[in-house]
Amino acid sequence: MPDKRKENLSKYTVDLNMPGAFEGETVTRRRFMNVSVQAMGGVAAAAFTLPALGFAIGPVFSREPFEWQIIGKPDDFQPLVYSLRVITLVPNVGEAGKSTAYVRARDPAIDTEPEDEYNHIIALTSRCSHLGCPVRWVESASRFLCPCHGGIYDFRGIRVAGPPVRPLNRFYTLIRNGYVYLGPMYSVNTELRRFSNRDPGQPVDGIGQFLYPARFSTSVLPPTGHLPMPPPGIPAG
């Protein structure tokens, strides 16, 4: 009696010499079992790996909200003198979220970059654009000096000497309701053109702006319609 199974061997599996493979089967059942079990294992591993990974790298893609904050009245700031202001970069983390800004009024004789509503008051960060140490204004030298690696900036925050790769970052400022409001930080290139906030150490001149692209997480200019009002007790200027 001829074995029926031997006559109708599948041409896809005949070379494997597998018993029980019929005409029309493109894959042996053993191989199908193997592949499907491995696929299920992969799905199970991905089910906990991918969410955990996304959880860890989520902050890279989430944009932090930023509030305008009051740093004084327009009369507080003179054109040629820097005033120091303590500002809050990140709320609710205490001292670690605080930073300082050097603030002065715009002087058309010095500040040749185009004027708009965001730079009547000029606010420079104290964060060195080399690696982020705090710079300080030294009156006798008329320069910003960085204590870490010797970065030197001039009155407008443009690099004079040392390792920094671009001028000091600046803050958007607004004059509304008789107060000066300070907004998010932005970076500038050597011509003081605005770029989105880059970390220290990342040049934005020439090819630098492409080598160090804008991040997803930097704060955008918040709407100016709902500026926070000053707490009672501070009279408007």
Partner 1 sequence: MPRLPAPPIPKALQPKPKRPGQNGNGKASPTEVAQEAGISVVDWIDERTSLSGGIRWMLFRKVPRGVNWYYTLGSATMFAFLSQAVTGVFLAMYYRPDATGGAYESMRYIVDDAFLGQFVRGMHKWGASVMVILIFLHMGRVFFFGAYKYPREMTWIIGVVLLILTLAMSFTGYLLPFDDRAYWATIVGVNINGTAPFLGPYLSDFLRAGPEFGATTLSRFYAIHMLLLPGLIIALIGAHLYLVSKLGISAPPWLKPHEEPELDVAEV
Q: Which residues bind partner 1 (CB under 8 A)?
A: 56-57, 59-60, 62, 64, 89-90, 92-97, 131-134, 148, 197-202, 211-219
Judged by CB, which is closer to partner 1: 28, or 88? 88
Contact 115, 108 (CB under 8 A): yes
Say how far apart CA 143 and CA 171 lie, in whole Å.
19
Minimum distance, C-beta of residue 221 to partner 1, in the bound complex (Å): 14
Judged by CB, which is closer to partner 1: 18, or 148? 148
Name the residue type at position 129: S
Name the residue type at position 104: R
Minimum distance, C-beta of residue 143 to partner 1, in the bound complex (Å): 21
Minimum distance, C-beta of residue 29 to partner 1, in the bound complex (Å): 36
Say how far apart CA 80 and CA 57 lie, in whole Å.
44
Minimum distance, C-beta of residue 35 to partner 1, in the bound complex (Å): 29
Say how far apart CA 84 and CA 72 lie, in whole Å.
11
At residue 100, the 3 state secondary structure works out as strand
Judged by CB, which is closer to partner 1: 59, or 178? 59
Judged by CB, which is closer to partner 1: 43, or 207? 207
- Which residues are 152's β-sheet partners? 145, 161
Judged by CB, which is closer to partner 1: 10, or 196? 196
Judged by CB, which is closer to partner 1: 104, or 130? 130
Residues across the chain: 237
Query: How far is CA 144 from each of CA 77, 118, 123, 215, 233, rounded to the nearest angstrom?
Result: 18, 23, 14, 27, 34
Minimum distance, C-beta of residue 70 to partner 1, in the bound complex (Å): 20
Minimum distance, C-beta of residue 51 to partner 1, in the bound complex (Å): 16
Among 96, 164, 82, 163, which Cα is nearest to 124's?
82
Rounded to 5 degrees, what are φ and ψ at 69? Answer: -125, 145
